[in-house]
Every structure is written in structure tokens, then in C-alpha cells.
């Protein structure tokens, strides 16, 4: 039987200086204590439900809380640890949005300008703006619905493929749009493929270069990598296991893949440490101007207890606290990466399996443990602990319900 491993300690090293001279956001006067025992229990539950391993890290000011259960590698039996890198899936979308908002700060881009102004003829409707793309309100169909209608065969068909972004957009445009531009929120990976194309057109550089120069190097994110179209996760990493659609079928090791089907919508690799550092910097006002951070936080409803801004999700927890970040689903990994409004407390949690809705819902409970503490009293209209809204497979094939 695998036991949970817990570490609490102080952060060593220098404090990062602001990247931009902007005011930090004010935080709440007090916050509940971290429920470390509850966090351990969540990870144990995820393991019992089919995740080979799971781990979580909370950075809270100068204190770090770590918990891990299970294995990073089913073959060797090596225990999973927060030093392990993993694929972060759609948490990549925050990185992509930050780069574009920095370009807005640099007067190279306007949020309310048509995408076709910068990428002439790419989209069939000049009413689709950059803001619509970053907020999932473009109406562009998500090509992954067709690509992964059958989970394992769909994955194996693209595991080694290398797409151009234009090819992915064409797959989307072969299907009717889901809504008129700006009408409603409708999650689509196509949007952030277009966002990556905007980055490359406006800077003249690959998205990798822009991630590295604007975010990764300034923040010292030593585990955050964009290796597309390389298939391997460099360095120490957890292996990712894809759950087949057929009940009882063996897990598929999905660790090695190009992730070319996602690119700027979901191909980054990172670690729990780096994700917490990134979210703290973003919400602390150190990656964009205050004006552009405010644009990221112009919310549209996106499901029960959720809202979406520009590449950033808000989740309203059962204790009345709201947290900010993104979920990530990529073959073999589920990630939750969220922080407090001021960025002073951040959680990253990952399970090394996917296509398992039970595990996905269980990992959602790490947010309560991290931000609500031991006592969770539901407010009017909120959902009490243990009865969280059912998560959907929104990052990969969002229109498909599998559980």
C-alpha cells in the first residue's frame, strides 16, 4: 500500500522583483489555514479511483506544503514527487494569453480588433475579435471533438503527428460554428491555436521563444518547457496514463507524444513549483500592466460556480472564496492550478491519468483543502464540500460527455 508523503517548509532563495512597475493587488485580511490532512485524503481517493499517482503543492507566502501519493512510473514503481515535470494541458492557455496581453501593453495588438486584421483571411467572419478568441466567445468549433471522439484510437492517430496551426484551424472551419461572435462562452481549443498564430505573426518568433523570453526566463521557471514537436518530457518527470473508454481496459502510457494537436492551446510542460510561481507573479501584477490584468478578469459565466475571463478561469468555492487559474487535461494528466486573488497562496495539483471523470472530480476538491481550510460551511447558493459540480472533459473534446 502506498502511503502519502507530506512536507511543510519555508521557501529559500531571493524574492522575485516585479517585471513591470505596476501596483500589486490587495489580498484579503485573513485566509483559512491549509487543510493538509484533507489534501492527503483527496489524493488517496484519486489513487483509489484509478490514478497511479497524484501530488499537490501549496505555496503560501514563505511556507510550502507538499503532499504526494502513488507512483510516477508504473513500470519502475518510483514514487511521484513535486520535483517531477508533467504536461499541463490547457493551463498553457494562461501563458498564451499573458503573451498577447503583453503585446497589447506594447501597442502591437488591440483586444477589440478583428483577428483578420492581423491574420488576413484566416477566419470566415471579420466580427471575430482577439477578445472573443481569448474568452472562448468566437464560436469557432473545437476540432478536438472529432479528433478524440474515440479516446485511445484518436490519441494513437495523432501521437506522432505534427500539424501546422493553419491545419488545425482548417479542421475547425470544416464544421459549423457554435454561436455568433461574442454571443456566449463556448470552450474551444481552436481559439488558442489562433492566439498562438497571432503571437508568431506579431513578434516574428515561434511561441516557444516568446514563452521563454517573456515568462519562463524572467520568473526563473526551470521546469517549464515547450518542446513541440519533440515527444519526450526532458529530465525527471511523471509518466502519464490514459484511461480507455472501455471499462476495465488497461491504462495506456501516453507520456510520449508531440502534443501537436494542441500547441499553444495545451503543449507546455511544467512542475507544481513553476505553476505556483507563475500564478503568483501574474495575479500579483508582475507580468502585465494593471489594465491588462483587469481585462483578463472581465468575467463571463462558464458553468456552475465558474466564470472565464481572457485565458483565465475563476472558480467560486463552497466557502465563498474565489480562486483564479485554469484546469488542464491532456492525455495522461489532469491538472488544477489556481491562486488567491492577490496570488499570495497558490495551489497546483496533478494526477497522472486522464479520461477518468471520477478522478477529475476528486482532484477538484484539492481547491477546498488549499483555500477553504478544515471548516467548509456552504453559503446560500453554494455547493457544500463533497458535492462539487460534476466536472466535464472541457479541455479535450469539450462537447463529449464520457462519464
Q: Which residues are catalytic?
A: 90
| Nearest CA-CA partner of 67 in 37, 46, 47, 31 | 37
Residues 6+ away with beta carbon under 8 Å from 170: none
| Nearest CA-CA partner of 55 in 64, 44, 63 | 44
- Separation CA 170–CA 14 (nearest Å): 47
The answer to whether 50 touches 353, Cβ cutoff 8 Å, is: yes
C-alpha cell at 328: 488542464
Cα→Cα distances 227→100, 201, 250, Å: 20, 20, 28
β-sheet bridge partners, residue 225: 269
> CA-based Rg of the chain, rounded to a whole angstrom?
20
Distance of CA 310 to the CA centre of its chain: 13
Phi, psi of 51 (to 5 degrees): -80, 125
| Nearest CA-CA partner of 355 in 251, 270, 255, 263 | 251
C-alpha cell at 38: 484533507
- Separation CA 222–CA 271 (nearest Å): 9
**3 state DSSP class of 394:** coil
C-alpha cell at 41: 485524503
**3 state DSSP class of 83:** coil
Residues 6+ away with beta carbon under 8 Å from 198: 100, 109, 115, 118, 119, 130, 133
The answer to whether 231 touches 256, Cβ cutoff 8 Å, is: yes
Q: How many helices (H) and strands (E) does the chain have?
A: 14, 14
- Separation CA 180–CA 230 (nearest Å): 37
The answer to whether 344 touches 32, Cβ cutoff 8 Å, is: no
**3 state DSSP class of 9:** strand
Residue 14 carries which DSSP code? P
Amino acid at each position: 500500500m502506498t502511503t502519502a508523503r507530506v512536507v511543510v517548509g519555508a521557501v529559500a532563495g531571493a524574492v522575485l522583483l516585479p517585471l513591470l512597475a505596476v501596483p500589486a493587488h490587495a489580498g484579503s485580511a485573513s485566509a483559512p489555514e491549509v487543510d493538509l490532512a484533507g489534501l492527503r485524503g483527496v489524493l488517496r481517493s484519486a489513487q483509489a479511483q484509478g490514478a497511479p499517482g497524484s501530488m499537490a503543492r501549496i505555496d503560501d507566502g514563505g511556507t510550502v506544503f507538499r503532499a504526494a501519493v502513488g507512483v510516477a512510473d508504473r513500470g519502475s514503481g518510483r514514487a511521484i514527487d513535486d520535483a517531477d515535470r508533467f504536461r499541463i494541458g490547457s493551463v498553457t492557455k494562461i501563458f498564451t494569453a499573458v503573451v498577447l496581453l503583453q503585446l497589447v501593453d506594447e501597442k502591437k495588438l488591440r483586444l477589440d480588433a478583428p483577428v483578420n486584421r492581423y491574420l488576413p483571411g484566416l477566419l470566415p467572419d471579420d466580427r471575430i475579435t482577439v477578445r472573443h478568441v481569448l474568452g472562448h466567445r468566437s464560436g469557432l468549433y473545437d476540432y478536438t471533438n472529432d479528433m478524440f471522439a474515440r479516446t485511445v484510437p484518436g490519441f494513437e492517430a495523432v501521437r506522432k503527428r505534427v500539424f501546422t496551426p493553419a491545419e488545425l484551424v482548417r479542421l475547425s472551419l470544416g464544421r459549423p460554428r457554435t454561436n455568433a461572435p461574442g454571443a456566449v462562452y463556448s470552450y474551444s481549443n481552436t481559439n488558442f491555436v489562433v492566439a498562438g498564430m497571432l503571437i508568431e505573426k506579431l513578434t516574428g518568433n515561434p511561441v516557444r521563444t516568446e514563452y521563454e523570453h517573456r515568462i519562463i526566463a524572467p520568473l526563473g521557471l526551470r521546469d517549464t518547457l515547450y518542446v513541440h514537436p519533440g515527444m519526450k518530457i526532458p529530465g525527471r518527470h511523471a509518466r502519464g496514463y490514459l484511461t480507455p473508454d472501455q471499462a476495465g481496459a488497461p491504462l495506456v502510457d501516453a507520456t510520449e507524444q508531440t502534443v501537436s494537436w494542441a500547441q499553444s492551446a495545451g503543449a507546455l510542460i511544467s512542475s507544481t513549483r513553476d505553476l505556483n510561481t507563475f500564478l503568483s507573479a501574474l495575479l500579483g501584477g508582475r507580468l502585465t500592466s494593471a489594465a491588462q490584468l483587469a481585462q483578463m478578469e472581465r468575467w463571463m459565466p462558464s458553468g456552475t460556480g465558474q466564470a472565464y475571463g481572457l485565458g483565465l478561469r475563476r472558480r467560486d468555492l463552497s466557502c465563498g472564496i474565489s480562486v483564479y487559474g485554469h484546469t488542464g487535461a491532456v492525455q495522461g494528466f489532469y491538472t488544477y492550478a489556481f491562486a488567491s486573488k492577490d496570488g499570495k497562496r497558490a495551489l497546483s495539483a496533478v494526477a497522472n491519468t486522464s479520461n477518468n471523470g471520477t478522478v477529475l472530480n476528486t482532484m477538484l476538491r484539492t481547491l477546498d483543502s488549499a483555500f477553504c481550510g478544515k471548516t467548509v460551511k456552504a453559503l446560500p447558493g453554494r455547493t457544500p464540500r463533497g458535492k462539487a459540480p460534476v466536472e466535464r472533459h472541457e479541455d479535450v473534446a469539450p462537447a463529449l460527455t464520457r462519464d
